[in-house]
Amino acid sequence: MAGLKKFLIRRLLTFVPTIVGVTLIVFLIAYIIPADPAKAWAGGEKASPEAVERIKERYHLNDPWYAQYIFLVKGIATNTLIDPRTSNPVLDDIRDRFPVTFQLAIIAFVFMLIIGIPLGLISALKRNSIVDTIVRIFALIGVSTPVFWLGYLLIFVFFVKFRITNLAGVPPTPATQITHVPIIDALLTGDFTLFKQHLARFWLPGFVLGFMGTGVVARFVRNSFLEAISGDYIEFLKAKGVPKLRIYRHALKNALVPIVTVLGLQFGGLLGGTPITETVFALPGMGSYAIQSIQNLDFPVIVAITFIYALIYVTANLVVDILYAVIDPRVRY
């Protein structure tokens, strides 16, 4: 337990610097862009000089870069940072849209698990066979397929041609009325009617978002499991006459550490991939909110969303590190 405690402390010490570093880099990139955000927020070329100056004063745009960054971070921490487009606190707008993005990421992650892991295991067990070749081709297609192209293709097939799913996974209530994650609430409360409604709206964009990750997971599981069953201890177990199923169970346990790694990173990556998917399917989530903010030079929202993404990604990596230490005690040292 002492080793695990020290391991967690070491990981937590990198938590805050990572998030601060990511948000600072994003802010500096936005800061050096040769554009006038105050003029864009005030209405563009038609904006009066007085309105532009008021906005600059309100958002400290005339201050040095470090003062502007501190203003943004303090506003995010206290939820006093106002979106210049919606006039709402930025974190309130993100909170309203986060359930859509989270539901999308969860469904995409489930697709990755139920498709990628079995395919990877089957490919490893059928190494160098026609099945293995098919799985590897599928994984290559998954890794190489652009999300937007697959999204529009499946919209055409499932909605335009067969009309068996909703065009956009828009929830039954406006995004501004969502204060929870309905698909998870439906499972917890046993409301399967609500669950089916949201699943019908989110399964197609969820599959599109998770398709690339499915290929990555399948390839990684295959390689990791093949490496595990090629160990000397596997030959020893075979020589002792241990049943194959039991041998594979031992091998899978040793292959779990790299598999957990890729799954944790993929979940964080899913959240980063939602802007394209949400734009294609007209979903009112954080990703589409980020795209709109970039188009309007809405730097407060860009920094705030980056902060949330970084927080989720670093937390996912922290959970992966904890699972490392639980699965393989050697990692703690």
- CA dihedral (199, 176, 77, 67) in degrees, to 10, reads 120
Q: For 282, left (φ over 0), alpha (ψ -120 to 50), or beta? A: left
Distance CA 157, CA 192 (A): 27
**Residue 222 corresponds to which amino acid?**
R
Spell out the domains of the chain, with CATH numbers in brackets: 99-286 (1.10.3720.10)
Q: Which of 275, 310, 309, 290 is nearest to 30 (CA)?
A: 290
What pLDDT score does 176 carry?
Answer: 38
CA proximity to 120, closest of 246, 256, 319, 238:
256
Backbone angles phi, psi at 89, to 5 degrees: -55, 135
pLDDT value of residue 175: 40
Above 50 in pLDDT, residue 145?
Answer: yes
Residue 99 has pLDDT above 70, yes or no: yes
* Mean pLDDT taken over the chain: 79
Q: Reply yes or no on whether the pLDDT at 288 is more than 70.
A: yes
Alpha helix ranges (H) inside 178-243: 182-189, 192-229, 232-239
Q: What is the pLDDT of residue 332?
A: 54
β-partners of residue 89 are: 82
| CA-to-CA dists, residue 236 to 132, 247, 251, angstroms | 26, 10, 12
The whole-angstrom separation of Cα 300 and Cα 38 is 12
Asked if the model's pLDDT at residue 322 lies above 60, the reply is: yes
Is-contact 209 142, C-beta < 8 A? no
Q: Which residue has the higher pLDDT, 190 or 300?
A: 300
Q: What is the pLDDT of residue 181?
A: 61
Cross-strand pairs, 82: 89
User: In whole angstroms, what is the distance from residue 248 CA to residue 189 CA?
Assistant: 37
Is residue 218 within 8 A of residue 119, CB to CB? The reply is yes
The tens digit of pLDDT for each residue in 234-264 reads 777 777 777 777 777 777 777 777 777 788 7
Cα 296 to Cα 285: distance, rounded to the nearest angstrom: 17
pLDDT digits (tens, 9 = 90+) for 43-88: 777 778 888 888 888 888 888 888 888 888 888 888 888 888 888 8
Q: Which residue has the tokens 């210049």?
A: 84
Q: Which helix (H) or strand (E) holds 73?
A: helix 65-78
CA atoms of 225 and 121, how far apart (whole Å): 7
The confidence score (pLDDT) of residue 130 equals 92
pLDDT value at residue 62: 84
- Other C-beta atoms lying within 10 Å of the C-beta of residue 111: 20
Q: What token pair was written down for 226?
A: 């093949």
Q: What is the pTM of this model?
A: 0.79
**Tokens 């699972």 identify what position?**
323
pLDDT of residue 298: 84
Residue-wise pLDDT for 149-179, tens only, equals 988 888 888 887 877 765 544 444 444 344 4
**What is the C-alpha to C-alpha distance for residues 313 and 100, in angstroms, rounded to an integer?**
17
Residues 109 and 266 sit within 8 Å (Cβ to Cβ): yes
Q: CA-CA distances (angstroms) from residue 151 to 51, 163, 208, 218, 281?
A: 41, 15, 6, 21, 8
Contact 221, 259 (CB under 8 A): yes
Locate 297 and state its tokens: 């030079």
